[in-house]
Amino acid sequence: MSLTVAPEFSTRVRRDEPLSRHTSWHVGGPAEVFFNPRDRNDLAAFLRAAPPEVPIQWIGLGSNLLVRDGGLEGIVISTHGTLDALERLSETTVYAEAGVACARIARQCIKWGLGPAEFFAGIPGTLGGALAMNAGAFGGETWQHVRAVETIDRKGRTHHRAPSEYRVSYRQVLAPEPEEWFVAAELAFERRAGSHAGEVQKLLAQRKASQPIGEWSCGSVFTNPPGDHAARLIEAAGLKGFRIGDASVSQKHANFIINHGQATAVDLERLIGHVRDTVARIHGVALHPEVRIVGVP
């Protein structure tokens, strides 16, 4: 049965849009309905008109998503290239919409003389994804800077929420309501004299030396277990270079899995399972995926 979309949106939704075009692993089957809103009002109107029983999945830059080959039933809302306002609110606070790329936040904060925001340069996703994941890099974490968020629900209503309403931990954010998504946040930084652009370049160069940047990946596949590093455990289990289909464990950083060009989501998910099972057998440690796995097999 085909999902009915209100007539005012029918020419703008993309049906059966391959999600491989929207994920950094470049895999994933089709989205039944793919919608990229023009702005907040358009988004609210679309949500109000959406059938209440239809599943909704949000996607930013798809840099932490493994979409299965069968794709996603229901609606996919993409914030990429939209919801992109970024403004300075006060001496030390910034307002950013969910579709703003994290790297842009880093660059703009440096221009404004605010920090520490350099870590955002290491996260190749949107602010919405960073809020959902509590993304972090180089010792900084997204929610350390959140003063307030704006969310939208299935009925298109906006909510203003304080960080205290969320349970935030390492790469995990538990929201007070399951079907509310981030549309913007107010972020606080400190005043920093001088430019820190050189600092960003240094951090990115360090990262390039230790991670397979430029290859098709989702960054770290597993979260680090308490007191250890997933990469160390995977490497010590002899899994560097282990391959299934066209996917392999990176030789450069064992917690990265690379799609060499033709991998399917099945290859990637099998490889994730193999790494998890091997580490559990050899080290007795349970690894948990940081990557979100969604969709129909």
Ligand X SMILES: Cc1cc2nc3c(=O)[nH]c(=O)nc-3n(C[C@H](O)[C@H](O)[C@H](O)COP(=O)(O)OP(=O)(O)OC[C@H]3O[C@@H](n4cnc5c(N)ncnc54)[C@H](O)[C@@H]3O)c2cc1C
Residues near ligand X (CB under 6 A) are: 24, 57-65, 79, 98, 122-126, 128-130, 132-133, 135-137, 181-182, 213, 217-219, 292
Out of 20, 78, 220, 248, pick the active-site residue. Answer: 220
* CB contact at 8 A, 275 and 231: no
Residue 285 DSSP code: -
| Least distance from ligand X to the Cβ atom of residue 24, Å | 4
CB nearer to ligand X: pick between 73 and 92: 73
Q: What is the DSSP string of 92-105?
A: SEEEEETTSBHHHH
CB nearer to ligand X: pick between 114 and 291: 291
Q: What is the DSSP string of 157-215?
A: -EEEE-GGGSEEETTEEE-SSTTEEEEEEEEE-EE--S--HHHHHHHHHHHHHHS-TTS
| Least distance from ligand X to the Cβ atom of residue 168, Å | 13
CB nearer to ligand X: pick between 55 and 198: 55
> Which residues are CB-neighbours of 60 under 8 A, at least 6 positions away?
78, 79, 80, 98, 99, 125, 126, 127, 128, 129
Q: How many CB atoms lie within 10 A of CB 210?
A: 10
At 252, is the secondary structure helix, strand, or coil?
coil
CB nearer to ligand X: pick between 60 and 295: 60
Whether 24 is catalytic is: no
Q: How far apart are CA 190 and CA 115, in angstroms?
A: 5
Q: How far apart are CA 24 and CA 189, in angstroms?
A: 29
* CB contact at 8 A, 117 and 199: no
| Least distance from ligand X to the Cβ atom of residue 282, Å | 26
At 35, is the secondary structure helix, strand, or coil?
strand
Residue 289 DSSP code: B
| Least distance from ligand X to the Cβ atom of residue 281, Å | 27
| Least distance from ligand X to the Cβ atom of residue 20, Å | 13
CB nearer to ligand X: pick between 75 and 233: 75
CB nearer to ligand X: pick between 59 and 287: 59
φ, ψ (nearest 5 deg) of residue 29: -75, -170
Whether 220 is catalytic is: yes
CA-based radius of gyration for the chain: 19
| Least distance from ligand X to the Cβ atom of residue 215, Å | 8
Out of 97, 171, 199, 269, pick the active-site residue. Answer: 171
Q: How far apart are CA 237 and CA 34, in angstroms?
A: 40
Q: How far apart are CA 230 and CA 166, in angstroms?
A: 26
User: Which residue is it, tokens 């007539």?
Assistant: 7
Q: Supply the residues annotated as catalytic.
A: 171, 220, 290
